[in-house]
Structure 1
Amino acid sequence: MKILLTTLATSVLLLGSTATFAASTVDLVVKGKIIPAACTPELSRGGVIDHGKISAKDLRPDNPTQIGNHVLTMTVDCDAPILFALHSIDNRAASSLTRELYGLGFINGDQKLGWYNLQMLNLVVNDSIVAQPIASADQGNIWYRENHWEPGIYMSAASMDDDTQPLPVEKLRLDLQVISTIARTDGLDLSNEVNIDGSATLEVKYL
């Protein structure tokens, strides 16, 4: 009987040990694809919009003041036709009033100076095909027609009769409209010179 109990106890210990070991592991999967083609994005004017010096007296205390509406030419040149999206990162996101807008920096570290928004207009694919802008909020799974380029959203080019999927593109040309606005100034300290400090990174994401 003693031998039987010892064998049973040993079996229980082994079962418990196996269960503990199984619960202490997790799988790591590293995956992806290496593609032969590559795309290079470019912006006219070196991607810089300079509003110059603006007098605080020209800004409205009770409403936002639009200080500029500029259009840059954006091109994306690829080695071959490929599916891709354009993705934006707001480098001043903490100073933005909402997630749909890009921030223009802070005054004294806590007062949000203003914002700018981006729109994609007049898309042309492969030098001759008129296209429409589409957006995806889930990294390319579902697409919809949209020309407002919000931070973090994927944007791409689609045929004029189908806004549900991107086109394979070798060359893309578009007008990137940048509208800059200063917040109402009754809550801003403008007693000293303030830098307008907007910055975003625009990158190609291969689909």
Structure 2
Amino acid sequence: MKKNMLGLTIGTLCLVASIGAHATTAAELIVRGTIKPVACNLTLGGGGIVDYQIINPASLSATQFNPLAAKLVSLTVSCGQAPAKFGLKLSDMQADSKVVGVLGAGFTEAQNFGLGIDNHKRTGGYSVTLKNLRSSNGALSPLMRVGTAGSWQRSDGKIAQNPSQYSWGSGNSVVPASITLLNGTLEVKAVINRTQDLDLTSDVTLDGRARLELSYI
């Protein structure tokens, strides 16, 4: 290794000396710059925590899935003064706890997020729906596509897990709008598993966790 390094050093010195011995007939032009994405900030109301607090097991069915009341979380994306096209992806961090069919009619399994596992039992699932989307220019309609190469289409706002991507357009447009500020709501609705499939000999904790990721498009 030392011999190789020494040989490289000598070769370089010889090359420099050789160039210095002749007139300079060429120069290097360097073009520099930085393409910097717009800095957008994503904020969820209440720190993104949806708390159902204490749930009385006597209010739950042993043989049917148990939907809870919907909870609303404010969503804000601010991009300063520079308009940008951006979208959202939601990844389920408790996907292995999913209870198939727990959301009922009108939802797909891709829209079913797991509520965690407690005492080796799957506690249920929840859905997330985009609502009340607005920019400084007015109301926006939710859009979605699968992956980053699919075609945009109108959406009912129900969020499916990554790789589905969500954005918003003006009016009936299926082209994402370029905006500086987005205000909206995430409607979260949890559904608890049948109590016959839970271990109620001790406390059961709902533990749904998902990662919301902002991306530029």
- Fold similarity call, TM over 0.5: yes
- Work out whether residues 111 and 128 of structure 2, in 8 Å CA contact, stay in contact via their aligned partners in 1: no
* 1:34 positional shift: 4.6
| Partner Cα distance (2:202, 2:171) in 1 | 49
Match of 2:114 among 100, 103, 113: 103
| Partner Cα distance (2:137, 2:85) in 1 | 18
Which amino acid is the alignment partner of residue 204 of structure 1?
Answer: L
* 1:194 positional shift: 1.1
Which amino acid is the alignment partner of residue 176 of structure 1?
Answer: L
Q: Which runs of 4+ in 1 moved over 4 A?
A: none
Which amino acid is the alignment partner of residue 74 of structure 2?
Answer: T
| Partner Cα distance (1:169, 1:198) in 2 | 31
Is 1:160 aligned with 2:161?
Answer: no
Match of 2:87 among 77, 85, 89: 85
Which amino acid is the alignment partner of residue 168 of structure 2?
Answer: A
What SS class does the counterpart of residue 68 from structure 1 fall into?
A: coil
Name the counterpart of 2:185.
175
Name the counterpart of 1:30.
none
Which consecutive unaligned segments of at least 5 residues does structure 1 have? 1-32
| Partner Cα distance (1:68, 1:197) in 2 | 17
Name the counterpart of 2:216.
206
Is 1:122 aligned with 2:132?
Answer: yes
Q: How many residue pairs end up in the alignment?
A: 172
Name the counterpart of 1:132.
141
| Partner Cα distance (1:101, 1:150) in 2 | 8
Which amino acid is the alignment partner of residue 71 of structure 1?
Answer: L
| Partner Cα distance (1:190, 1:76) in 2 | 40
- Work out whether residues 140 and 154 of structure 1, in 8 Å CA contact, stay in contact via their aligned partners in 2: no
Moved more, 82-91 or 138-147: 138-147
Change (3 A) 1:38 1:141: farther
Indicate the RMSD between aligned Cα atoms, in angstroms: 1.6
Name the counterpart of 2:158.
148
What SS class does the counterpart of residue 118 from structure 1 fall into?
A: strand
| Partner Cα distance (1:184, 1:140) in 2 | 39
| Counterparts of residues 21-60 of structure 1 (less than 5 Å) | 34-60=35-61
| Partner Cα distance (2:194, 2:148) in 1 | 35
* 1:54 positional shift: 0.8
Q: What is the percent sequence identity of the aligned residues?
A: 29
Which amino acid is the alignment partner of residue 155 of structure 1?
Answer: Y
TM-score, with length taken from structure 2? 0.75
TM-score, with length taken from structure 1? 0.78
Which amino acid is the alignment partner of residue 48 of structure 1?
Answer: I
For residues 23-60 of structure 1, the C-alpha deviation after alignment (integer angstroms, 9 at most, x for no partner) is xxxxxxxxxx9533121110111111111111222111
* 1:140 positional shift: 4.9
| Counterparts of residues 62-77 of structure 1 (less than 5 Å) | 62-77=63-78
What SS class does the counterpart of residue 168 from structure 1 fall into?
A: coil
Which amino acid is the alignment partner of residue 76 of structure 2?
Answer: T
For residues 131-154 of structure 1, the C-alpha deviation after alignment (integer angstroms, 9 at most, x for no partner) is 100111122531111110111121
Name the counterpart of 2:105.
none
Which structure dedicates a bigger proportion of its chain to strand? 1
- Work out whether residues 65 and 184 of structure 1, in 8 Å CA contact, stay in contact via their aligned partners in 2: yes
